[in-house]
Structure formats: structure tokens, C-alpha cells
Amino acid sequence: MEVNEQLVQAITQEVLRQLNSKQPDGNMEDHSRRSQTRMRPKHSYAGYPRAKQGTNPKEVVIGVGAAFQEEITQTISGLELDEVLRNIRAGIEEEDMESRVVKVLDTSDVAFMALESAKLSGSGIGIGIQSKGTTVIHQKDLYPLTNLELFPQAPLITLEIYRKIGRNAAKYVKGESVTPIECTNDPMVRAKFQVKAALMHIIETEQLDPDKKIIEWEGRK
């Protein structure tokens, strides 16, 4: 069978259709069935502190997705999320800036994750990372879709690029002239990873907890 973009889209739509068909209509039986058909059990963040507004002007806040390092431990290309986070933080530290990690539980949209992180940051600069690896550098006074740098093709982002993302974010904090990071572009990436990306997004979105909003999350040691 030839695998092309049309086939991938058809498979993705069928997966989403089947998942949507399992949504409850409000009665207890359907609610129980929904719980049994979740892709991952619901994670509890009871006891985690709400993320605080930063005051440190050297701070870059990194906002990670709701499934980050828990239900999802690798990016869409197989990079360990522990290593992704370590490299971003190392890049920030190499520019003599500091990082703080929060987990965003009220949205799975990477642009809003990054913007909310920037608003919490003492410097006004933040980074958003979806669990599949898509990343955005944002500034607190910009519109959600008007970011500083966007890295949409997660399968092509290497650990070296994540480190550069950390460095660039720190340079924005310092007000230095920043050269945007060059990334490889592959027009077939979307077709190759569309189904996996859709499934990972569903897993991430299932873990949202709007009541918790954003919590302090230093990640795994």
C-alpha cells in the first residue's frame, strides 16, 4: 500500500472520529465508559503549588505540556523529554540567565503555553514546549500568534537546537541582537507524523486541568 498524505489524513480523521464517538452524553453509564476509553489515566496534581508571578529580571520561564515527562516521556521523534528540558535550561544558563519550569494545565496550544509562561516570567520572556516537541519563544506583551521564534516541525528538532533555543531566549532577556535559529525543513514531515502527532495531542489534551491552571514543575531530577 502506498502511504501518502491523503491516506495519513484519512487515518487521522478516522482515529479522531472514533474517539469523538466515545464522548459521554451526560449519564453515569457513558461517563464510566469514557473513563475506560481514555488513552491514559487522568493524572492528579493535587498538592502541587500554583505557579507564581516571577520577579527575577534574569528569569526565563519554561512552560511544558500537561503530559510532559509523565504520560509522554519522548518527543515525536524519540528524544527523551528529560534531555530536551536539560538542554534548554543549559542553553539559558550558558548566557548567564536563569530558568524556571512550570506545567501548563489550562491549554495544549503551544502559542498560548509560551505566552502564559512569558507573562509569569520576571523578564517577560518564556518558552512553551508541547510534549511532542513543538516549541515557541514568546514575549509577554505580544499577541498569542505573534511570537519571537516558532519551531513547528518537532520531528526535525535536535537536542542541539533545543540548546540553541535556550540560548536565544536568554539573549532576548538581555536585549541582545538575536539571530533566529536555522532549522531543517522537510515538506513531508506532516504526512509522515500526522497520525502520531494527533494521538500525542489527544493524550496531552486529556490531561488538562483548567482548575489548576499552571503549576510549578521543576521536572525530574
**What are the pLDDT digits (tens) for 58-107?**
999 999 999 999 999 999 999 999 999 999 999 999 999 999 999 999 99
Report the alpha-carbon distance of residue 95 to residue 108 in Å, rounded. Answer: 29
List the grid coordinates of 86.
536539560
What integer pLDDT is reported at residue 186 of this predicted model? 80
**Could you tell me if residue 15 is inside a domain?**
no
Torsion of CA 126, 128, 134, 138, to 10 degrees: -40
Residues 172-185: pLDDT tens digits? 999 999 999 987 77
pTM of the complete model: 0.84
Tell me which residues of the chain have a pLDDT lower than 70: 1-37, 219-221
**Could you tell me if residue 25 is inside a domain?**
no
Instruction: Give the domain CATH number at 137.
Output: 3.40.50.10150
**Could you tell me if residue 118 is inside a domain?**
yes
What integer pLDDT is reported at residue 8 of this predicted model? 54
What integer pLDDT is reported at residue 39 of this predicted model? 77
Q: Which long-range contacts (CB under 8 A, 24 or more apart) does 146-152 make?
A: 147/111, 147/114, 147/115, 148/172, 148/178, 149/180, 149/181, 150/111, 151/181, 151/183
**Could you tell me if residue 41 is inside a domain?**
no
Residue 10's CB is within 10 A of a number of other CB atoms, namely 12
Give start and end residues of each alpha helix (H) in 108-158: 110-120
What integer pLDDT is reported at residue 32 of this predicted model? 40
Report the alpha-carbon distance of residue 63 to residue 219 in Å, rounded. Answer: 11
How many domains does one find in the chain?
Answer: 1
What integer pLDDT is reported at residue 12 of this predicted model? 59
**Could you tell me if residue 35 is inside a domain?**
no
What integer pLDDT is reported at residue 26 of this predicted model? 44
Note down the domain range covering 147.
Answer: 49-221
**Could you tell me if residue 16 is inside a domain?**
no
**Could you tell me if residue 117 is inside a domain?**
yes
**Could you tell me if residue 145 is inside a domain?**
yes
What integer pLDDT is reported at residue 219 of this predicted model? 62
